[in-house]
Amino acid sequence: MPDAPDFAALTSAQQRAWSEGDFSMVGSLVVNASESLVEALEILPDERILDVACGSGNGAIAAARRAWGNTVGADFVPALLDRARERAAAERLEIEFVEADAQELPFESASFDVALSIFGAMFAPDQERTAAELLRVVRSGGRIGMANWTPDGALTDFFAILMRHTGGPPPGTVPPVLWGGEERVRELFGDGITELRVERRVSRQAFRSADHYLEFFRAYFGPLRTAFEKVGPAGAPALEADLRAYLEGASTDPRALVLEPEYLQVVATRA
C-alpha cells in the first residue's frame, strides 16, 4: 500500500503559498459568491456563524450583517486575518478572527449554528478530516454552506497547469475540485447530514486582457507566485505561455478577458 500523504507537511507548504502576495485583492472577485451562499443559508439574527478559511473575511462579513455580529472567521494566514479585521472594523461589525487550520478547528463541538467556507476548506489536503471538522463544530439541525469550484469548470484547467509545471500533485492526495461534485460532497459528509441542496453557479471575473489577468494574479495570488518561484526563470516562459493560452481559450467575451468559472453552492443540514 502506498504511504499516506504527509498532511502536516502539505499543510505547511500550502500555508506558505497562501501567505504569498495578498489574497485579499483577489478575494474581491468572489464577493458575489459569498453573498449568494450566505443568502442561501437563511441566517437568523443571533445565530452563531463560523467562516472557515475566511481569507480577508468575505463570508464572515456577509454573515455578520445577517446574524448581527456573532461571527467568527478562521484562516491559517495571519496577514489575511488582519485585512479581515480592518474590513470588519470599517463596517462596525462584531467578528472575531482566529488563526486556525481547517483540519483542526480550535472550537468546541456543536458550538455553531452555521459553518461556511467559500473556496477555502476545499483546498485543505485532508478532505475527510476537513469534512469531519465542519460537521463536528455545527449543532444538530444547523447548516453547513460551501462554495467549491467544480471539476469540469474553467478553474480546474488553471490549477492543472500549475500542477503540471511544478511536478504534479503530491502522491496520495486528491484534487481540491472534487469538493465541487455533489457525489463527493455526499461521500465526505456521509450520514453527518440529513439534507443536501446544491446549485451550479458561475462567478464572473472580468479583466482587460490576459496580460492584465497575469499581472494581477502574479502580484497577489499566492499559489501562482509560488508556482513561478518553483519553476524559476528557466520555466517561467513555458508556464506563462500555457496560462495565456488557457485564459484566451476560456474567455467568454471578445471585448475583454472574461472568465465565468463554475462552482457548486452547497447547503447541507447537520444530522
Ligand X SMILES: C[S@@+](CC[C@H](N)C(=O)[O-])C[C@H]1O[C@@H](n2cnc3c(N)ncnc32)[C@H](O)[C@@H]1O
Among 76, 112, 158, 217, binds ligand X (CB under 6 A): 76
The residue number whose beta carbon is nearest to ligand X equals 55
30 binds ligand X (CB under 6 A): yes
Among 120, 153, 176, 180, binds ligand X (CB under 6 A): 120
Of the listed pieces 116-124, 159-167, 200-208, 237-245, which binds ligand X according to CB under 6 A?
116-124
Q: Read off φ and ψ for residue 97, nearest 5 degrees.
A: -115, 130
77 binds ligand X (CB under 6 A): yes
Type of residue at 117: S
150: nearest Cα among 199, 103, 188, 194 = 199
- CA-derived radius of gyration, the chain: 18
Helix, strand, coil % in the chain, rounded to nearest 5: 50, 25, 25
156 binds ligand X (CB under 6 A): no
Among 97, 112, 123, 149, binds ligand X (CB under 6 A): 123
Map the footprint of ligand X across residues 45-64, applying CB under 6 A.
Answer: 53-55, 58-59
If the CB atoms of residues 37 and 193 are measured against ligand X, the closer one turns out to be 37
Q: Are the C-beta atoms of residues 225 and 195 closer than 8 Å to each other? A: no
124 binds ligand X (CB under 6 A): yes
Q: Are the C-beta atoms of residues 145 and 62 closer than 8 Å to each other? A: no
Type of residue at 85: R
75 binds ligand X (CB under 6 A): yes
94: nearest Cα among 55, 45, 61, 137 = 61
User: What are the residues binding ligand X (CB under 6 A)?
Assistant: 11, 14, 18, 23, 27, 30, 34, 53-55, 58-59, 75-77, 80, 101-103, 118-120, 123-124
